[in-house]
Amino acid sequence: MDFFPELERIVVDKGTCLCVGLDPYFTREERASLGDAECLSRALEANKRIIAATSPYAACYKPNAAFYEAFGAEGHSLLEKTIAAIPEWIPFIYDAKRGDIESTGKAYADAIFGGLGANAVTLNPYMGREIVEPFLAYEGRGLFLLCKTSNPGAGAFQGLDSGTGKLYETVARTCVSWSERIGLVVAGNDPSALACVRAAAPYAWFLAPGIGAQGGRAEDAITAGARKDGRGVLVVAARSVAGASDPAAAAASLRDQMAAIARKITAIGPRNFQGFTASVAKQVAGPNTELKDRFVAGLLSTGCFRLGEFVLKSGKKSPFYIDLRRLISDPAVLGAAAEAYSSLASGIGFDRLAGIPAAGLPLATAAGIRLAVPMIWPRMPVKEHGTGNRIEGACVAGEKVLLLDDLITTGASKLEAVEILRGESLVVEDLVVLIERGKQGRRDMEAAGIRLHAFLHVRELFDSCERQGLIDRTRREELERFVDSE
């Protein structure tokens, strides 16, 4: 199989740019409780089920090395059995992120292309061109080099000014000059970066992670990153497909969303393509650093974010405390919050805002005024006297509602609001918050079919504090370790 030509054929014939991740993860506690043998058995069963369900909709598959290496030799056996379950006409990308030179690089290439028989691999180009040469020695194999990654801290290095743009733009131009068999890993949750990298590498294939659990949307990634023919972006979906109650339906839905955007791109013609992608990328791009820093400064000045030692409701001690109800005490900071919500909402179609009581109500009011859209709110608990309204404010069944709250840790209160709104025949598909703390909230929203859009992850809040000299690196790392332990 000649990877990139075959990929082009599959994308055209099947009408899909979907890359399905095969990432079986078990926590240490689960491994201790179940035992490795049971975990491995469940992982293989799950992988086979996902492959069988999604093969009509997948352009390729992507097993991540870490999840298999964690089990040692038995994990390697699991990987081989998983690869054997992939239909031979569907390629797979081994997500290894390797990168070394000389004999070490050759050994990596022999293991991945010679041993596993991978059709393509992800590599880290930090050491330069020498790292790709052992892999290019295998004819017909594809390489995806890390360019702009999807994690919150990616900008620390990748966003540096290289003199000719951002560092990741320089990486893109340089790497694709090495071979036509090189693609790029570009964050699917960063449309502005996708558009910039597409300008730097007009013909390269992109592997775009960050969809679903990391906040990215498939349609945004295709819109911002596609080539003029509507192709060129492999959208990676792992948890959003594997964790769905119906993986086949989830994969089919993603395929259809991407196909619709691709048709729109090809319909407008090459002449208008650049303006179209730049315009939409601007609409869906995340908020800029200046606004984030301004907002964080406001959180500190109003006491909404404080460092120290605090006892949480759970009884656990925390080195920081967030209370966004205090935003209303400063009109300028409240205005910055409204601006933040506006930036999140700009790429979402909706008829009304719905603020979640109580902290979300003044914030939704401020955002509604800035966006010039009407607002409603669900009664929580439901009103038992007077009119007995479940929803305050005018609305019509079938309207699409954008749910709004201050922050998210878990999905409990959000799900209560969703139940009330959907109970009144309103459509709820998206939630916007100022701050995301931890991972559970996003999982809860995904399970309910809600896309979460967060202005800041709490880690970015720490990064902003460090940039402004409010904390040092050691303090930031302490805060991050606490968040990781929650």
Name the residue among 181, 193, 189, 240 with its Cα closest to residue 215. Answer: 189
Predicted confidence band of residue 290 (pLDDT cuts 50, 70, 90): confident
- Burial level of 177, CB count in 10 A (0-12/13-18/19+)? exposed
Do 294 and 301 meet the contact criterion of CB atoms below 8 Å apart?
no
228-239 per-position pLDDT tens digit: 888 999 999 888
- Average pLDDT score, the chain: 88
Residues 462-471: what's their mean pLDDT? 80
State both tokens at 476.
């930031």
Burial class of 312 by CB neighbour count within 10 A (0 to 12, 13 to 18, 19+): exposed
Instruction: Output the pLDDT for position 278.
Output: 46
* Both structure tokens of 34: 């179940």
Q: 270-284 and 218-225 helices cross at what angle (nearest 10)?
A: 140
- Position 277 scores a pLDDT of 45
Reported as a pLDDT band with limits 50, 70 and 90, residue 383 is low
Range 158-161, long-range pairs (CB < 8 A, 24+ positions): none
Contact 145, 126 (CB under 8 A): no
The pLDDT of residue 317: 87
pLDDT tens-digit readout, 447-459: 898 988 888 888 8
Listed in sequence order, the residues at least 6 apart from 263 whose beta carbon sits closer than 8 Å to its beta carbon are 230
**R_g (Cα) of the chain, nearest Å:** 23
Residue in 255, 230, 19 with CA at minimum distance from that of residue 119: 19
| pLDDT at 471 > cutoff 90 | no
Q: For 75-109, b where at least 16 C-beta lie within 10 A, e where not — what string? A: beebbeebbebbeeebbbbbbbbbbbeeeebbebb
- Give the residue numbers annotated as catalytic, written as ranges: 97
Residue 273 — very low, low, confident or very high, per pLDDT cuts 50/70/90? very low
Dist CA 471 CA 177 (whole Å): 41
Contact 15/261 with Cβ under 8 angstroms?
no
pLDDT score at 468: 73
**Helices and strands counted in the chain (H then E):** 21, 16
Least confident of 36-45, 137-146, 292-301: 292-301
Mean pLDDT of 407-421: 92
pTM for this predicted structure: 0.61
> CB–CB of 25/68 below 8 Å?
no
465 vs 270, which has greater pLDDT?
Answer: 465
